Chain A
């Protein structure tokens, strides 16, 4: 694996908001089929770096390389078109629409009725939804159901399904397990492993060290906007990661 090119390379990235240095010379890589967990206390810079990657902010200094090409996206939309899908905690699903309609929101396929009248192609949307969800081992029984009818973990799967359908290379997940009950948390962790199996790069942000140790291939610890260290879960302990997070 060491000779394959990383999907994402963050090199010495810095970002400040006025006098506040939110990121200072941060670096890490994400390889295909690798889960990189970002750990750190509140305000350590985890959110800032994912926003810089996903086109919400511009970074001030350093480089972010996507497949070897330097990027500095102007909008999240542009980042998404380049295969970076960010799944925020609130998921940003339209709860009144079906899974297929959510996957295609803003890019709905059309077909011609009687060869003249363009209408939405709902069959194509439902079929794509079925396919994307099946690749996550979710077999949806009711494709007509609004997203509101599904549980929290299932909605995570829908948001991930959307990323898969649009061929995301890099999936960024911000606290995907935070609002869920324990069985649902297990299911989301299984989804992340599934995504890894599909060769995606994954950035996983969590406060929960147990989740991090279960799915991460690499743990990158942030402290006050700086890299505090990177460890493999097999070579470290919870205590050591906590020490890196809080310093001392």
Chain B
């Protein structure tokens, strides 16, 4: 009887090297911070990173795109895309503002309870676009790009209609404290986002739901033959994505003490960029929450850092754009090295 050793073909690098390759967005983030540190010291004579205000600002700045990007990570791993997130966030922001005002003025609910109800309403209203996205994609086989593009328009219109074409100001000290307060120096927004990151990481890497999302993204046939209910799975993925945007919308309202339909408009592409910089492939099947966190921080550091060293703000777009392209190239190279093929 012959004994065969099944060694992966090609040269699969050592696990430690693979691990570092997966964390490359974090490596890049460190390099970026070192770059800004050197520049700031040379040009301004001040420190970039050893500055509590800078750290807090970057962290708060990163929360909104990150909350969108967490759900987007699941969607992109499943080889989909969610274009509706920006305006789902806007819709949630407007609804959260209305809810805060409504409960306080109409029912005399105390500000703290009104804040909780507002965050809940803002987050839960995102269920509707998420559900419609999921139903369109899972049951009517509409391509994700088109289905969520349609919902982008619907959510946008609905958000402006509910807002009456204006921003909806709130007057709720508790809600404002959620958006601007600190606990032991840590902004509340950052705490809420960090907890959301942990929950999302758990869902993606430690549950069947996450495992099936990876399998589905790599091979729909494999997922179906394994007996996975892929319609239900798709629905859950788009619901999760919308809920993240809903939470982001409610947080926006607290931070700026107003609900705005255009709250998430510039953030949609940042959310996709964060996922891609974090190492996910738009072909589906790969990506991690840790990577996405690093991706969101990379974008925030570039944007904040360039302002800090007094570079004209328009360079931000060029820098982020270049980073996205480089990330995709690095991802392709890594796939070739590890024997992972890009299917289709």
Name A's B-contacting residues (CB within 8 A): 76-77, 80, 88, 90, 92-97, 101-102, 105-108, 110, 113, 117-120, 133, 137-142, 144-146, 148-151, 154, 157, 187, 190
Contact = CB atoms under 8 A, between A and B. Distances in A.
A92 B6 contact: no
B249 interface: no
B10 A139 contact: no
14 contacts: A92-B225, A93-B219, A95-B285, A95-B343, A96-B285, A96-B340, A97-B211, A106-B223, A119-B206, A133-B6, A141-B6, A141-B8, A150-B9, A154-B6
A141 B222 contact: no
Contact of A94 (B12, B222, B227): B222
Nearest to A139: B5
Q: Which of B10, B12, B223 has the most CB of A within 10 A?
A: B12
Contact of B6 (A90, A94, A138, A148): A138
Contact of B218 (A88, A94, A117, A154): A94
A92 B219 contact: yes
Contact of A151 (B1, B9, B208, B218): B9
B215 A149 contact: no
A160 B212 CA distance: 21
Interface string B185-229: 000000000000000001000111001101101110111011110
B15 A148 contact: no
B2 interface: yes
Interface of B: 1-10, 12, 15, 18, 202, 206-208, 211-212, 214-215, 217-219, 221-223, 225-228, 285-286, 338-341, 343
A157 B2 CA distance: 15
B222 A92 contact: yes
Nearest to B281: A96
Given A106-B226, A133-B6, A141-B7, A149 B12 contact: yes
Q: Which of B1, B6, B338 has the most CB of A within 10 A?
A: B6
Given A92-B222, A92-B225, 11 more contacts: A80-B227, A92-B226, A94-B285, A106-B228, A120-B206, A133-B6, A137-B4, A138-B5, A142-B8, A146-B340, A154-B6
A198 B97 CA distance: 67
A202 B226 CA distance: 20
**Closest 10 A-B residue pairs measured CB to CB?**
A106-B226, A149-B8, A94-B215, A119-B206, A149-B339, A105-B226, A96-B285, A96-B218, A138-B6, A77-B227
